[in-house]
Amino acid sequence: DAGVIQSPRHEVTEMGQEVTLRCKPISGHDYLFWYRQTMMRGLELLIYFNNNVPIDDSGMPEDRFSAKMPNASFSTLKIQPSEPRDSAVYFCASRGEGRTFFGPGTRLTVL
């Protein structure tokens, strides 16, 4: 299995632009998570899905953030409009058989 796949690996954008991060979870996993990692706040959960349905989005910082999971093999995290404080590494993770596996992350820099 290829593991959790994320794209792009790096994204540099200007403040105000729309950013879309993509994730392909491990096949057969029924939970998908989006985490954000920063020096100040560490690893924090933004939102998670169960069987493509959003269950808990209490970690989404603002309305500028939205996430979708149109099918079992694809999810997006969108930031519109982006701000410099959104700069972080965003991880997608999927869970199956009781274990959570992380993707390599997308390093987002908002100038």
Partner 1 sequence: GQQLNQSPQSMFIQEGEDVSMNCTSSSIFNTWLWYKQDPGEGPVLLIALYKAGELTSNGRLTAQFGITRKDSFLNISASIPSDVGIYFCAGQFYNQGGKLIFGQGTELSVKP
The one among 56, 61, 84, 85 contacting partner 1 by CB under 8 A: 56
Taking the complex as a whole, the smallest distance from the CB of residue 69 to partner 1 amounts, in Å, to 13
What is the spatial distance between Cα 60 and Cα 71, in angstroms, rounded to a whole number?
A: 21
Task: Mention every residue, 6+ apart, whose C-beta is less than 8 A from residue 66.
Answer: 60, 77, 78, 80
The one among 11, 26, 36, 48 contacting partner 1 by CB under 8 A: 48
Question: Which region, left, alpha or beta, applies to residue 57 given φ > 0 means left and ψ of -120 to 50 means alpha?
Answer: alpha
Taking the complex as a whole, the smallest distance from the CB of residue 38 to partner 1 amounts, in Å, to 12
Q: Does 105 bind partner 1 (CB under 8 A)?
A: yes
Q: Does 55 bind partner 1 (CB under 8 A)?
A: yes
What is the spatial distance between Cα 111 and Cα 92, in angstroms, rounded to a whole number?
A: 23
Taking the complex as a whole, the smallest distance from the CB of residue 76 to partner 1 amounts, in Å, to 18
